[in-house]
């Protein structure tokens, strides 16, 4: 059995009936035939900035089609499919939530990308791949739910080849104290483990990485969440959207995110480290 914290995280994301709701919405929005991965971006890129952020972060890595890439905490597989489609890479994804992996596999089939993708249910703290297996790894909005970050980054380092790169795109703790709940990654503080950008850098470096890129993406994050809340206020949720994953409290979660970004309680950090 997973540790208690991991069980709580699985329960937060894997809500009852999730697989059926998402597949039904995909069919309604996209039809029953093959799907362009871009048509899924409203739901399958569960991080601040959505597809635009995915493209921005991936562009910093210098990937080529011959590379093997790992997505740690892959969710429904949006970033992984971007890597497979836009970059031509061979991609593996791992996520704690079985429902997410079931949906990811179904969407990989529908987008015609399943032959270059491997999706696994499992923990970022115990990656089921051998040493020096991947050319690159990415993790989008995952570490907020992980207390043992030392082990997470050590595992990422272990499975990367020498010279391989790790992109960390995460919500981090800002200079102002106090957090509001619920938020997209947690209903309460029990499964929320934010650290500062400085601490994130220290942890990544302690795992053996040399930092090659470091950015604060707070301004972009604020604009993204303001736009999303405004759209919900005027038009309501679309057929395919994050409300399928976040439920009836999605608007409150976004409002809390905006308030904390504006108040300095949280920020968005991008780090790219190279295994030396």
Q: What is the mean pLDDT of the chain?
A: 93
What pLDDT was estimated at residue 32? 84
Closest among 130, 129, 35, 137 to 83, alpha carbons compared: 137
Query: Could you tell me which residues are beta bridge partners of residue 138?
Result: 71, 167
What pLDDT was estimated at residue 1? 41
What pLDDT was estimated at residue 9? 93
What pLDDT was estimated at residue 222? 79
User: Omega of the bond prior to 144 within 30 degrees of 0, cis?
Assistant: no
What pLDDT was estimated at residue 231? 66
CB of 228 within 8 A of CB of 50?
Answer: no
The correct answer on CATH 3.40.50.300 for the domain covering 4-173+194-217+266-275 is no
**Residue appearing with tokens 């038009």:** 235
Residues of the chain with pLDDT under 70: 1-3, 225, 228-236
Q: Report the alpha-carbon distance of residue 22 to residue 162 in Å, rounded.
A: 39
């Amino acid at each position: 059995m997973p540790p208690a914290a991991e069980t709580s995280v699985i329960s937060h994301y894997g809500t009852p009936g999730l697989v059926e709701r998402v597949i039904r919405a995909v069919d309604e929005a996209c039809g029953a035939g093959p799907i362009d991965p871009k048509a899924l971006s409203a739901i399958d890129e569960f991080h601040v900035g959505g597809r635009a952020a995915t493209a921005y972060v991936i562009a910093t890595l210098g990937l080529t089609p011959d590379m093997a890439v790992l997505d740690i905490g892959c969710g429904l597989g949006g970033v992984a499919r971007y890597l497979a489609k836009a970059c031509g890479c061979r991609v593996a994804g791992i996520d704690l939530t079985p429902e997410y992996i079931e949906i990811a596999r179904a969407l990989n089939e529908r987008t015609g990308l399943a032959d270059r993708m491997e999706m696994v249910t499992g923990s970022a703290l115990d990656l089921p791949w051998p040493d020096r297996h991947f050319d690159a790894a990415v993790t989008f909005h995952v570490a907020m739910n992980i207390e043992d970050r030392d082990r997470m980054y050590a595992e990422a380092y272990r499975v990367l080849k020498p010279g391989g790169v790790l992109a960390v795109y995460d919500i981090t703790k800002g200079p102002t104290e106090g957090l509001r709940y619920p938020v997209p990654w947690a209903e309460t503080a029990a499964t929320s483990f934010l650290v500062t950008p400085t601490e994130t850098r220290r942890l990544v470096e302690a795992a053996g990485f040399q930092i090659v890129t470091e950015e604060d993406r707070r301004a972009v994050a604020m604009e993204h969440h303001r736009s999303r809340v405004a759209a919900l206020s005027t038009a309501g949720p679309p057929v395919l959207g994050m409300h399928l994953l976040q439920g009836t409290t999605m608007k409150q979660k976004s409002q809390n995110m905006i308030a904390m970004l504006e108040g300095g309680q949280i920020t968005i950090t991008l780090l790219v480290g190279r295994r030396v």
